Amino acid sequence: MENLARKRKKHNYEDLEKIRSKTNERYELVNGDLHLMSSPRGIHQLLVLEIAGQLREFFKDKKCMPFVAPLDVVFAKGNDKSKWNTVVQPDIFVVCDLDKYDKNYVKGSPDFIIEIASPTNLVHDRFTKYSIYQRNKVKEYWIIEPNDKKIFTFLYSEEAEIYSEGKEYEITDEIPVTTFKGLKISLADFYKKNQEWVIKEEQEEYENK
């Protein structure tokens, strides 16, 4: 039988740009493999706006800058785009070394990343992106799981060169961002205000299973 793995084309950033322009779809690139991103739900977008607002307020007089998707984060060295094979679009992230920022992408590791998971991308966030962020020494990584109302936080250990054992929080807890002294994310008021919307989307998710 012909080896199917050999037929799978490995892509680079130049390929990614061409594919996006033709399809108008959001793709990420993981070790040369394309990953089609699903369309975010309403609750996902509201969470992004809420958290980004809290980050913007905290960093307004500081050198670090928060960003939201869709903006590419390129994990690669050098300027040859044909050799860039891992490109992701985190939901929310913070960069303190603004030399990493280009108008179209950030090249290098952000200091803090948050992914908001859905049932369709949970494995991607928990395992694939976790591995990418750990390998590239992203200092702090959070996964928010709206359906289960949980937040998992991971800190990178320079000594061990891995993420420490994750901490689990309720989504309505006030959670400290360890990387930035004094920064806490609180979603309790958000959930109280948007409770009907959250329940409606959870019910739709259940019915579509």
- As a CATH number, domain 39-71+85-207 is 3.90.1570.10
Choice among 39-43, 147-151, 156-160, 168-172 with the minimum mean pLDDT: 39-43
The more confidently predicted of residues 43 and 62 is 62
Taking 50 as the threshold, does the pLDDT of residue 4 lie above it?
no
Taking 60 as the threshold, does the pLDDT of residue 206 lie above it?
no
pLDDT at 30: 96
This prediction's pTM = 0.91
pLDDT at 1: 39
Taking 80 as the threshold, does the pLDDT of residue 69 lie above it?
yes
Taking 60 as the threshold, does the pLDDT of residue 205 lie above it?
no
pLDDT at 138: 98
Span 70-105, pLDDT tens digits: 999 999 989 999 999 999 999 999 999 999 999 899
Span 8-34, pLDDT tens digits: 789 999 999 999 999 988 999 999 999
Mean pLDDT on 135-164: 95
Mean pLDDT on 177-187: 97
pLDDT at 200: 62
**What is the band of 61 on the pLDDT scale with cuts at 50, 70, 90?**
very high
Q: Give the HSE-up count for residue 178: Cα atoms under 13 Å, Cβ half-sphere.
A: 13
Distance CA 82, CA 63 (A): 31
Distance CA 206, CA 209 (A): 5
pLDDT at 112: 98
List of E strands, the chain:
27-30, 33-36, 65-68, 72-74, 87-88, 92-95, 105-107, 112-116, 140-145, 150-157, 162-163, 167-170, 174-176, 184-186
Average pLDDT, the chain: 90
pLDDT > 90 fraction of the chain, expressed in percent and rounded: 74
β-pair partners for 106: 73, 101
**Cβ(133)–Cβ(149) below 8 Å:** no
Provide the residue type at 132 as one letter.
I
pLDDT at 2: 44
Distance CA 40, CA 116 (A): 9
**What is the band of 5 on the pLDDT scale with cuts at 50, 70, 90?**
very low
Q: Break the chain into its structural domains and give their ranges.
A: 39-71+85-207
